[in-house]
Every structure is written in C-alpha cells, then in structure tokens.
Amino acid sequence: MNEAAAPLTGHLVSDASLDREFEERLAAASTLAFRVAYGVLRQREDAEDVAQEAAVRAYRGFTSLRNRDQFRSWLVRIAWRLALDRRKSERRRGVRELKASVAPTKSPSAEEIAAGRQTEERVWEAVDGLPEKLRIVVVLSAIEGHGMREVAALLGLAEGTVKSRLYEARRRLLERLPCVVSGTSRT
Amino acid sequence: MRCERYEQDLTVGAAGGAIGPDLEAHLEGCAACRERLAEKQALLGRIEQVLTLQLDVEPSAGLRRRVIARVVEVEKARRRMARLGAAAALAAGLAMVLLAGGLAHRSPETSSERRATATGPNVPAAGAMKAERVAPVPSVPTAGAALTPHVVRRRSPPAGARPAAAPEPEVLVPPGQEEALRRFAASLREDAGTPRPLLRATATVESPVAPPPLIEIPVLASEPLSDPADPLERSKS
C-alpha cells in the first residue's frame, strides 16, 4: 500500500482551499469512520478499507455538501453503510472469518479481563442481531464516550429519538443476553 | 424466588424505561426482585463495557496518509477515464460525420444500371485522383433526354498501379454528361491543384466562361384574331 502520499492540495481540485479543507475535516473524522466500520466488521484491514472508500466517496461529494460542518456525521453514515454492505456481501459469499479481534488500546482492569472471549462473541452476536437503526445507536454510543447529544448530531436525529432507540436496543440486548457473567455464560 | 410476572418489567426498568407503580410497590417488598433488577443493570453495564473496550481501537499507523493516497489515486484514475471517454466520443462523432458525408455521395442503383466507366487513355491512375475531387457533375440536361442520373464507376486500377488509399465514391452523372466528366477527370490529372469548371472543356480559372448571350424575345404585334364586338363573329361562334 502506498504510504508516501502527497497532500491533496493542488493535485486534484482546482480550488486548493477546498482540498485543504477536505484534508482537515478528514483528519478529524477518519478515525471515527474507521471505528464505525470496525463496529460492524470487527476486522482491522476491512475496517480500514471501508474508511478509505468512505473518504473517496466523501471527496467526490464534498463540493456539493451543503453544510460542510456536517462532514463528520456524513462521513460516519457513509462508512456505516459501506461496512454493512461489505458484511452482507461477505455473508452472501459465505465468508466466515474468525480472525482474532484487535486488542484494545487501554489496559483492561481485572473486571474487564474477566469478560472473556466468549462473552465478547456473545455480545457482538447480540448486537449484530439488532435492527440497523438500533445497532448504529448502540455502536456510536460505545465509541469515544459519545453521549445522547453527540449521537443525535452524528445521525441527524432528535435526542428523544436517540434516547428511545437506545432504550429499545438495551432492552433487546438484555433479553438476548440474560446471563452473561464474568466471562462465562450461563443460560 | 423470582417473581416471573415482573421479569419483563424488570428488564424495561434496567434498560432505562419507566418503572410502573405496580412494580415499584412490589420492589419495596421483594428483595429477590430488587436483586434481579440490580443484576440486569449490571449486565447492561457489562455489555456496554465490552462494546466500549472493543471499539476503543486505533487504526494502523499511516491510515490517514493511505486514505489521502487512495483518494488521489481514485480521482486521477477517474479523470483519466473521463478524458479517454471524451476522446472516444469525439472520435466517434468524427467517424459519424465522415460516414454521413460518404453516404451522401451514394445513390441506389437503378434496375437498368446504366454505367459509364471512365476508360481509355484519359483514365487517371487510381492514386492520382483524390476522391474528394470527383464531385457530382452539375446537371445540364439535354433536350429530350431523361433526367435520371446514372452511376459512374471507375474501373479497377490497372495492375501495378498504386492501390487507392480510400474506396472510390460513386459519381452521379446526368445522361449525356459522360464526356464532360472525362474531360474534367483529364483536367484534374493534368493539373491536380486546380480543379476546372465543367461548363466548357477549354475554360480556365483565368478565363472564366463568358456569360451566355441574352435571348431576345421579340415583341409580337398582337392583333386580335376576331373582333368580339362584331356581331358577325359572335354568330359564327
């Protein structure tokens, strides 16, 4: 993969200031796009591919974006959609990848260590079973400590809508995972 | 002992939903249900903790640079394809124009297929005459002659002659104009740079054809053949 990338400015769009603005906004949102994609795919390479594709699509439509302050939420939605499409495509092809998940960056506490691999798999399985509009609320809420307001801004929804969807998602998760305790599961 | 009938209400409460007065009253008197509610809340917390931990992941080093590189690569390829597409469209348009021009010089063959081939010593070499100089001969109809044009086809070039670069067009020649065409073809062979008008074989650019003389129409003396006022004439008709 080409690591030595020249800046966009002056290379593509005739308006250099537009290129510069796109780079700046992308720099602030690319990690979030990656994490959103990872929340669906749970594979680093796949999530990075999706993040790249999302950036390409965002660049194409950047000049027609009415409010460029919405770039972050727009990129998140693009990445989410691309990740879902990729997952559906993999399922249609019958691809069942059981790669190891990425190790978290923070040092887990004893309680977090106790939540073992099996618990993680069961949790993600339950999350994947949620309807799409509930699933994205759960994923965004778990990323970067986003509160209701941030999630609502990213999705372009009212806070009340986000709150009700989050409640519904939690209720369904509790019904699906009645007894997940300390790394082991008992039903 | 759990109170099964409150299980769903406990789930709602743990998820952040409203706890009804019935459940509230029950919780005051049922330690098991209070414990169950706490378990569900802890479970939800653990679920969200797992998700937060799993999603607190950094992309690999250099992702931003790779993303920019990918954008540049895709956009350059897209613009390259756009330029190729424009060139292909232009070429296709020119081809259509040339084809339409070629078709405009063709005509369907008649059933009699009268063909006048340019033969004899005046026939130019295939490579000497350019297709575009063989223009349709202007129509100078002779008295009594049919105006149905016929097709003039040149014979195949003699052996050893240079092959024509392009297919030779068919030339429409009004009847009686074959000789004019031969003279015209001969003039082209003699002077390929300056096509000569076809009205007269001896005409040149320097000595244009003189305008034809005016035809004088004599004034006829008009005399009535009969006098309509003459009663004798009226009686005859």
| pLDDT band with cut points at 50, 70 and 90 for residue B191 | low
| Predicted confidence (pLDDT) at residue B67 exceeds the cutoff of 50 | yes
From CA B151, how far away is CA A63, in angstroms rounded?
60
A-B contacts at Cβ under 8 angstroms: 149
Q: Which of A11, A123, A174 sits opposite B72 (nearest CB)?
A: A11
> Which region among A47-56, A170-179, B188-197 has the lowest average model confidence (pLDDT)?
B188-197
Using a CB-CB cut-off of 8 Å, the residues of chain A touching B71 are 8, 12, 52, 55-56, 59
Residue of B nearest to A179 (CA): B43
Nearest-angstrom CA–CA distance, A3 and A70? 28
Distance of residue B88 Cα from the nearest chain A Cα, in angstroms: 23
| CA torsion, ordered A69, A72, A76, A79, to nearest 10 deg | 100
Distances (CA, A) of B87 to A12, A34, B98, B105, B123: 20, 39, 17, 28, 41
Helix, strand, or coil (residue B151): strand
CA angle B162, B164, B165 (to 5 degrees): 115
Kindly list the distances between the CA atom of residue A56 and the CA atoms of A16, B49, B68, B78, B151, in Å, as whole numbers in the listed order: 17, 33, 8, 11, 61
* pLDDT interval class at B102 (50, 70, 90): confident
A116 band by pLDDT with thresholds 50, 70 and 90: confident
How far apart are alpha carbons B224 and A186 in whole angstroms? Answer: 132
Residue with tokens 């010089």: B105
Does ipTM surpass 0.90 in this model? no
